[in-house]
Amino acid sequence: MVWTPEAALEFGREHVMVWNRHDLKEIALLYAPDVELVSPFAEEITDSSTLKGREAVVRYFGAALDRYPDLRFELVDVLYCVDTVTLYFRSIGGRMVAEVLTVNPGEPISRVQAHYTCTPPSARDV
């Protein structure tokens, strides 16, 4: 099964809602047991930019939520492909993030590639 625009948009909205509730048990269910996460931000918290397995990823998420208790995601756009969905959103301090999620409709996420803007929010506000 491949993504449709409607299904990808619904997935993106639900994903952000789950995250914004800060419930680690609920967040964990979004990810496959063998998920791989690649993020330069993860390295700031875990000393590694690549995490493998749900347990490692959820430990990172828990540490990030502890560090940023006011974390909120604001969904800006959703892009879709055959087996990936890209969520484009605002995060901590207005930082723009694009997460490329390898995921099939109705299944947990198997891979995350988090991309962060290179410019600070003040430089983008023209």
What's the mean per-residue pLDDT of the chain? 94
Domain ranges of the chain: 5-116
From 20-24, 42-46, 75-79, 111-115, the region with the lowest mean pLDDT: 42-46
Cα separation values, 91 from 19, 41, 94, 102, 116, Å: 11, 12, 5, 20, 10
Pick the CATH number of 5-116 from 3.10.450.50, 3.40.50.970, 3.30.160.20, 1.10.10.10: 3.10.450.50
Q: What is the pTM of this model?
A: 0.91
Which of 55, 59, 95, 82 lies closest to 115, judged by CA? 95
Per residue in 62-106, pLDDT tens?
A: 999 999 999 999 999 999 999 999 999 999 888 999 999 999 999
Determine how many CB atoms are found less than 10 A away from the CB of residue 51. Answer: 23
